[in-house]
Structure 1
Amino acid sequence: MWCWARRRSPLRPPPPPSPRRAPSRWPRVPDFPWRPGSATGVGSLPGADIAEAQRIVFGELPELPHLAELPARGPGADMIGRSAGFLVELPVQLYAGRWQVAPRPGKDLRVTADLLERDLDQLTEQGEKYTGPLKIQSAGPWTLAASIDLQLGGRLLRDAGAVRDLTDSLAEGLRRHVEDVRKRLPRAEILLQLDEPSLPTVLAGRVPTESGLGAYRAVPGPDAATALRTVVEAVGVPVIAHCCAPDVPLQVFRDARAAAVALDLSLLKDLDPLGEMLEAGLGLFAGAAPTTPPAGGIDGKKVADRVSTLWKRLAFSPALLPRQVVITPACGLAGVSPSYARAALTACREAGRRLSEV
């Protein structure tokens, strides 16, 4: 934190030393692009009715709604297919149940584009009067590279040049996607979430080859950050880097210049990297509501207590919590019942309200 010293006369004695600051840590907190006490969803929800899903999102998450994702609708609505649909001049197709690079756009991409268009139409209709931050999502370049096959076999990850082409294509496609959403909802402030569940295995060299007898090369952290930064700089909006796997690569996300990191609190082992990230001024999308119904039920107080306990362990000022932290489910909710999905989002909203009133 910069501190400007006042020039003193050489005849004037120096001021007495300031009293020691309380042990609470004070991160360098910028103006975050969300309201204090906000809650949001990770993205996916159960079911196949996008109109109902989007109504639930706007109803339960009024401070920070998101574009709902419904993977139960099948290929093209799944995370990889939907995100591959954003690629520019890099068509994909389904082959033997997997997404692979295609020689030309075909029916699989038409289905993907049609599903996205329906979702955006519902977002436009229901969010017509919405003013405030709005989150959209896509898989990041490393998760796509570890999940999409080359035409000749093997993952895109095996070819560094193919990964660069994929990254550039995704960056341009997401820039266009952001502009499309901005035109549809001109009063909304767009945030982009990049989902990177595969990034820890990419960094560790644990993505298996097709035979299962080997693994692809480990990608160095600086290289991973460079690719992510290409997307961050292209889209021109705040980016939330999301990873709900163990060993979240916080340093990579910091180096990629993400505005915030989204993670599952139950998978945190070492708090020091998280504390350093927060001190550097990044936001935290805290995955605090479990994605499986707990035995005692779920409510906002339990979710809020979980987050406030973490904050106390980090020794940060309580006043910063509602500004720097957004409450979310631990991960996507596509695999739960509709009733629990709604209950989890309600609990996140209630937890955000409780934490902002402390």
Structure 2
Amino acid sequence: MSDEAGWPWPEGAATGVGSLPGSDVAEAQRIILGELPDFPHLAELPGRGPGADLVGRGAGFLVDLPVELYAGRWRVAGRPGKDLRRTRDLLERDVDQLTEQAAGLRGGTVKVQAAGPWTLAASVELPIGGRLLRDHGAVRDLTASLAEGLAAHVRDVAARLPGSTVVLQLDEPSMPAALAGRVPTESGLGTYRAVESTLASELLRQVVDAAGVPVVVHCCAPDVPLDVIRASGAAGVALDLSLVTRLDPLGEALDAGLGLLAGAAPTLPGARAVTSAGVADRVRKVWRELGFPAARLAKQVVVTPACGLAGATPAYARAVLSACRDAGRRLHEDSLS
């Protein structure tokens, strides 16, 4: 691959996957902008409850496809209600904080996140019972609705931060299970039929194309479907490096030009304190094993936590973001030497 290929983030950048602990969105956004000035993201605080969770927030973007909570699960509703209003109010509050605090971000890059179509299809239930995944026609309707809603969301953020590059991250933790036929039915006694990879990439591409901005697909699972993500036209993949068991598929995807958001910092404290040197070494090790030139690393790779940080303490979450930022800078310095 030519080294002239470009990616939609600054060299040596770091960013977060999305979620942070707590319920104070103003403070969370201040931390993100302070620790990740080159590639900040919209704060996500699932600890606030329904509507701030991955599925609830994602379903809130659906156009003309209202949802509601029923027995603790999200399902398609007959009309918009209080659950959907709460979901959209939380999002509006979060975007307002990003707008206010990132007003000086002109010319920079910012990331927003949302659940992708396959994760929503594997999570949201039909009014008659069962998840949308059981009906591929319903999944197509959901995808068209999500594509329209996310395109409007991206346009809104871009208008609020003129001159900035917006990157959309689609969170797809359930896509490997959908592809492998491992999503359980409501009874728990069976599973839904496996989704064909061509259909998976087709519907993912529909959202990617509609967004009109670079899209990264995030999947923190051992069997990230890199072929599906590449076929969707996504600009990059976000994954947990500790779960990569086979390097060849990742190497092929990166050689074809896919950007990498490398989850290299643990999301929970371990025996050793998280350090920028340790995080940078983790990324370097994988890059060297792939055999790619060192000069390209800081251009193609963004350093991130292994996954979301909602389960971490506030102090540890901040330390992880700081370590990722400084690790990205270390990798950039390597490329200049």
After the TM superposition, list the runs of 4 or more consecutive aligned residues in structure 1 that deviate by more than 2 angstroms: 26-29
Distance 1:337 1:27, change over 3 A: farther
Shift of 1:321: 0.2
Aligned ranges 1:267-286 → 2 under 5 Å: 267-286=243-262
Partner of residue 43, structure 1: 18
Counterparts of 1:98 and 1:69, CA distance in 2: 19
Kept in 2, the 8 Å contact 1:101–1:150? The answer is yes
Residue of structure 2 in register with 1:63 after alignment: 38
**Does the CA-based 8 Å contact 1:50-1:119 persist in structure 2?**
yes
Q: Which residue of 2 aligns with 1:158?
A: 134
Q: C-alpha distance in 2, partners of 1:343/1:263? A: 20
Amino acid at match of 1:78: D
What does the per-residue CA deviation read over 1:45-88, in whole Å, with 9 as the maximum and x for residues that have no partner?
Answer: 00000000000000000110000100000000001001100000
Query: Considering only CA atoms, is the larger Rg found in Structure 1 or Structure 2?
Result: 1
Opposite residue 313 of structure 1, the aligned amino acid is E
* Match of residue 75 from structure 2: 100
Task: Confirm whether residue 140 of structure 1 aligns to residue 116 of structure 2.
Answer: yes
Look up the equivalent residue of 2:143 and give its one-letter code.
Answer: T
Distance 2:217 2:40 in 1: 17
Shift of residue 188, structure 1, vs aligned partner: 1.4
Over the matched positions of the two proteins, sequence identity in percent amounts to 67
Equivalent in the alignment of 1:21: none
Deviation at 1:292, TM superposition (A): 1.1
Cα distance in 2 for partners of 1:351, 1:234 equals 33
3-state DSSP of counterpart to 1:357 = helix
Q: Is the 8 A contact 1:194 1:242 kept in 2?
A: yes
Preserved CA contact (<8 Å) 1:27 1:278: no
CA deviations over 1:238-266 (Å, ceiling 9, x no partner): 00010001100000000001000000000
1:29 Cα deviation from its structure 2 partner:
5.2
Matched positions, count: 333
The answer to whether the Cα contact below 8 Å between 1:46 and 1:70 also exists between their aligned partners in 2 is yes
Residue 294 of structure 1: how far off its partner (Å): 1.9
**Cα distance in 1 between the residues matched to 2:188 and 2:286:** 39
Q: Structure 2: how far apart are the matches of 1:99 and 1:177? A: 21
Whole-angstrom distance in 2 between the partners of 1:166 and 1:260:
23
Looking at structure 2, the residues matched to 28 and 239 of structure 1 have their Cα atoms a distance apart, in angstroms, of: 21
- Report what 1:78 is aligned to: 53
Q: CA deviation at 1:28?
A: 5.8
Aligned-residue offset at 1:187:
2.2
Query: Partner amino acid for 1:42?
Result: V
Counterpart of 1:12? none
Q: Deviation per CA, 1:192-242, whole angstroms, max 9, x where unpaired? A: 000000000000000000111110000011100000000000010000010
Secondary structure at 2:257 match in 1: coil
Question: What amino acid sits opposite 1:146 in the alignment?
Answer: A
Task: Write the letter of the residue equivalent to 1:272.
Answer: D
Q: Which range moved further: 95-104 or 289-298?
A: 289-298
Q: Look up the match of 1:5.
A: none
Q: Find 1:266's aligned residue among 242, 249, 253.
A: 242
**1:1-358 to 2 correspondence within 5 Å?**
30-131=5-106, 132-358=108-334
Structure 2's unaligned 5+ residue stretches are: none
Query: What is the one-letter code of the residue matched to 1:147?
Result: S
What's the offset of the Cα at 1:27?
5.7
Cα offsets for 1:273-305 (capped at 9, x unmatched): 000001101100000001111211011000000
Q: Check the 8 A contact 1:28/1:279 in 2, yes or no.
A: no
Q: Matches of 1:209 and 1:110 in 2, distance apart?
A: 29
Contact 1:61/1:345 (<8 A) preserved: yes
Q: Distance in 2 between matches of 1:166 and 1:332?
A: 25
Q: Residue type matched to 2:30 in 1? A: R
Report the residue type matching 1:228 in the other structure: L
Instruction: Name stretches of at least 5 consecutive residues in structure 1 with no aligned partner.
Output: 1-25
Distance 2:60 2:164 in 1: 23
| Structure 1 Cα separation of the partners of residues 18 and 44 of structure 2 | 6
Name the Cα RMSD after superposition. 0.8
Q: TM-score, normalised by structure 2?
A: 0.98
Q: 2:3 touches 2:296 (CA, 8 Å); kept in 1?
A: no
CA distance in structure 2 between the aligned counterparts of 1:296 and 1:264, rounded to whole angstroms: 19
CA drift at 1:326:
0.1
Per the normalisation by structure 1, the TM-score is 0.92
